Each structure stands twice: as structure tokens, then as C-alpha cells.
Amino acid sequence: MKFESLKGSIVAMVTPFHEDGSVNFEVLTQLLERQIAAGTDGILVLGTTAEYPTMTHEEDASVVAHTIRVVNGRVPVMVGSGSNCTATQVEKSIEYQNMGADALLLIAPYYNKANPEGMYRHFAQTADAVNIPCILYNVPGRTGCSIPVSVVEKLSKHPNIAGIKEASGDMSYVMKIAHCAGPDFAIYSGNDDITLPVLSVGGSGVISVYANVMPEMSHRIVKDYLEGRQDEARANTIKYLKLMNDLFIEVNPIPVKSAMNMMGLNVGPMRLPLCEMSEAHQAVLHKTLEEAGLV
């Protein structure tokens, strides 16, 4: 399965857990089949939504292997291999490529951060080590740093760096990337509520939390926009905007896993330091799901 020039809705998968905290592979299979049946254009595992910071390397590899086996080439599989240690990122990227990943998601180095040259080398060294597309991940609310536009522009010329997941919510930043990186560099919205603005400046789609809950609609919104049905895309975005926003009423992925459990998808608990939502927020989210016809 080729990832190059992928357009559409890529779901940022949750990782389902049993009550004892172990990975629930049976439910993971059900979630993957649900996504594919709904028309999801791509699958991302081990992203922020997957709680990968609390998973062991062995669990990471098991989830990747299981996902690639179940998906079986029906849609592209992207794997989050990012780390704030470049050597670890390179090691995991090579491992996941060898397991059959179609693309890699590389996060900006968090906590230790980096100066612009160090950040450039962090990504370039990883891209040099693999031969599948790498997608940069800019999420300063998580990492404490943003990838400078000048660094993105330089990285966009690397043959293995195909795009960016832009999750700062800053449309000015998005437009600067669109201007300097060129039309062959994919820009994916990392925020469901601004997918349409990102598409309007040449974006390729969304890497979506919302798609865990309504995969068919997430796919349809992007497809409609890209195929010229902007009015329909706009109407559906507005219709489900409150749900998109309420999936961030607490830190992701607490609300989306809570919503999926309310919907009977049985994704289980979070791992500490994440825990269940407050009762007040549960009530708000449940009401929003009722309004959307999901519970």
C-alpha cells in the first residue's frame, strides 16, 4: 500500500485496554474493521491519541504488528515512531518500516526541545535511515516547542519527508508552510475543528480524533470538500462542531475513549496519569453524543 499523496481522513486510533491495563487486541481488531468499513482513508497507530507514552516498546511493536496484519493492505498504515531521543526515533522508525508500515509520524522533540539546527537534524537523520514517507508532527501544546517554518521548508526538500501534521491551531503558521513548502508537501490538520480552513489553503486532509467516533462522517467531510462539494462539507462540519470540540473537553484521549465507551465500543480505561472524566464533563459529553444520535 502506497502512502504518497494520500488525501482524506486518517484516524488517530485509540489503544483499547482491558480493565487490568493490558492491550485489548480483540477490540483493536473490531475498531480497525469498523474504520475500514466506514471508508477511512488511513490508519494512524501510536499517535498521541493512542497513549503511547505509557506503553512499553514491546507493546508498541505488538500493536503495530497486529494492526498491519489486520489491515492487510486495505488502507495505508502510519505509525508514530517519534521520540525526543533521535537515536530511539531512528531505531523505532527502522523497526516499523521493516514490519510493513506505510508511513511514519515524527514528533518534534519534546521536553529537551532543540535549536533550529538540532531540530532539522532530528528529523533529517530519521528520514535518511528509512525509505518510506515521514510526516512531521507539530504540536507545541504537547511538546513545548514549534517546528520553525524555516526548518519545515528545508525538510520539505528531503525525498522521504512528505508532509506535516499541523496541530498548533495557528492558521498563519499553516499558510506559511503552504507558501514555502510547495504543493507536493502534504499538510494534514491535526485539529478536527479547523480541517476546512486547512483544506482551503491546499491541505490534504485530517489526522483525526473525531474519526474514532464518526469515521464515515470524517471521511465524507474531507471527500466532499476536495471534490467540490464545499457547501456539504461546511454544513456537516458545523453540524458536528460541538462534538469535535467536546472531544477535547478534557485532555485527549480521555474524552474520546469515554465517548467510545458510552457508544458501546468497549475501549476500556486510560492508563495513568490519565484517568476518567469528571462527572460534570461526562454529562456534557453524553448529551452531545445524544444530540448526534450516537447513544
Residue type at 174? V
Within 10 A of 64 (CB to CB), how many other CB atoms are there? 22
Catalytic residue among 92, 154, 165, 257: 165
Instruction: Please name which of 198, 193, 102, 116 lies closest in space to residue 152, comparing C-alpha atoms.
Output: 116
Q: Long-range contact list for 276-281, CB < 8 A, 24+ apart? A: 277/249, 277/250, 278/250, 281/249, 281/250, 281/255
Annotated active-site residue 165? The verdict is yes
**CB 73: neighbour CB atoms within 10 A?**
10
Provide the 8-state DSSP code for 206. Answer: E
Phi, psi of 208 (to 5 degrees): -115, 135
**Do 91 and 56 touch, CB atoms closer than 8 A?**
no
Question: Nearest-CA neighbor of 109 among 144, 138, 84?
Answer: 84
What residues contact 16, with CB distance under 8 A and at least 6 apart? 23, 24, 27, 28, 31, 266, 267, 268
Question: For 48-58, b where at least 16 C-beta lie within 10 A, e where not — what string?
Answer: bbbbbeebeee
Cell of 219: 471521511
Residues 6+ apart with CB under 8 A from 179: none
- The answer to whether 111 is a known catalytic residue is no
**Of residues 137, 173, 188, 240, which has the active-site annotation?**
137
* Catalytic positions, written as ranges: 137, 165
